[in-house]
Amino acid sequence: MSLIELKNVSRIYRLGNQEIRALTDVSLTFEAGEFAVFAGPSGSGKTTALNLIGCLDHPTSGQVFVNGVNLGAASKRVLADFRLQNIGFIFQSYNLIPVLTAAENAEFTLMLQKVPKSERRAKVLKLFVELGIDGLEDRRPADLSGGQQQRVAIARAMAAEPHVILADEPTANLDSHTAEELLELMRRLNREQGTTFIFSSHDDRVITQARRVIHLHDGCLADDVTISS
């Protein structure tokens, strides 16, 4: 069984009398351990595809399965719990909570899962060492660089050991050096820990690092290429 399956998925948004087809009849599968990217210009449907996989949106037609669960048939409460237990997110804007420290931000998903404080702190401290941000645990987001904030966001996404991590334009706010460092870090986590990563991006730095590139154009699947390692 594939980790993720999209079956003839379409997503239509309506703004007044206008109909916007964000995705049209897209069918895809992803296996565990992939390092893949949805590529294409703005408006191609990349973020929509990611949001459907991440239970942040629902298809107008078609079906989305993640780890065998039909997301379209689930209630909002079931989806929220499923998302909490199975999916990690890395957002373009980091989405860190300003009043929490770096460690508290990274622990947030574990706290929602009711993991004991000592256990979640130990897990986060280990991740901070692996991510090269140990020593920054007590700083708040405003006192961290963009690259450091993104590493905290990665730690938060990974802490709960989700089945898949979804990253929406993860390098958009980063300089070239920091972006390359973070991409190599995520590739290492993918290689060594088998973490599944799926990105949305129009950044060539991300696209050239991916092992699978799925091109979307005007909401349609234009190309799906797997690059041999």
Domain ranges of the chain: 4-226
The phi, psi pair for 52, rounded to 5°, reads: -65, -45
| Domain 4-226, CATH among 3.40.50.300, 3.40.50.1980, 3.40.50.2020, 1.10.3210.10 | 3.40.50.300
Nearest to 170 by CA among 206, 143, 196: 206
Q: pLDDT of the chain along its 229 residues, tens only?
A: 789 999 999 999 988 888 999 999 999 999 999 999 999 988 899 999 999 999 989 999 999 999 888 988 888 888 889 998 899 998 888 899 999 999 999 999 999 999 999 999 999 999 999 888 999 999 999 999 988 998 899 899 989 888 899 999 888 877 888 888 888 888 988 998 888 999 999 889 889 999 999 999 999 999 999 987 6
Sign of the Cα pseudo-torsion (219, 26, 206, 81, in order): positive
